[in-house]
A = this chain, B = another copy of it.
């Protein structure tokens, strides 16, 4: 049994719930996707693999995965909520280019001490840290510079 499966199972058991076949399938697909996804995308991927799992079940499973800490909300963009799996995927910063839409990730590690310090000051029991930075990626910002020169 895979790590994440075991963890989900434990989580469910603690709540008196079971790791059923549909839930197992959804979990598999979630961990096979290495990008951000929304419910609909997840659903159509699942349809490719197994049939007989309804969209409703996908929607019902996502909050469980969130609560189990296996999945988290991803950078918010327009058009519904997006998610990403996080188990074994260390916390990271999202760098979101507002021009070309690409998302880069980088490590959050060296920011953690400063964050934890503030958490302590606020007596806040932090479970999840999400840092998103919007701006221009190097490609788009160098393009912008070129244009500036051309325009003037």
**Is A95 a contact partner of B124 (Cβ separation < 8 A)?**
yes
**Is A122 a contact partner of B95 (Cβ separation < 8 A)?**
yes
Contacts of A101 in B (CB 8 A): none
Asked if A27 CB lies within 8 Å of chain B CBs, one says no
* Residues of A118-152 contacting chain B, CB below 8 A: 118-119, 122-138, 141
**Is A128 a contact partner of B133 (Cβ separation < 8 A)?**
yes
User: What's the number of copies of this chain in the assembled complex?
Assistant: 2
**Is B138 a contact partner of A123 (Cβ separation < 8 A)?**
yes
A72 to chain B, nearest CB (A): 9
Instruction: Please pick, from B81, B127, B130, B136, the residue contacting A124 in the complex, using a CB distance under 8 A.
Output: B136
Instruction: Please pick, from B81, B106, B111, the residue contacting A76 in the complex, using a CB distance under 8 A.
Output: B81
Closest to A124 in B: B95
| Bound Cα distance A3, B37 (Å) | 39
Asked if A114 CB lies within 8 Å of chain B CBs, one says yes
**Is A133 a contact partner of B115 (Cβ separation < 8 A)?**
yes
| Given the contacts A73-B76, A130-B131, A131-B130, A125 and B136 also touching, CB distance less than 8 Å | yes
Contacts of A136 in B (CB 8 A): 124-125, 127
* Residues of A69-100 contacting chain B, CB below 8 A: 73, 76, 78, 81, 93, 95, 98
Jot down 10 A-B pairs with beta carbons below 8 A, ordered by A.
A93-B115, A98-B127, A106-B122, A111-B115, A123-B138, A124-B141, A125-B135, A128-B135, A129-B131, A130-B131
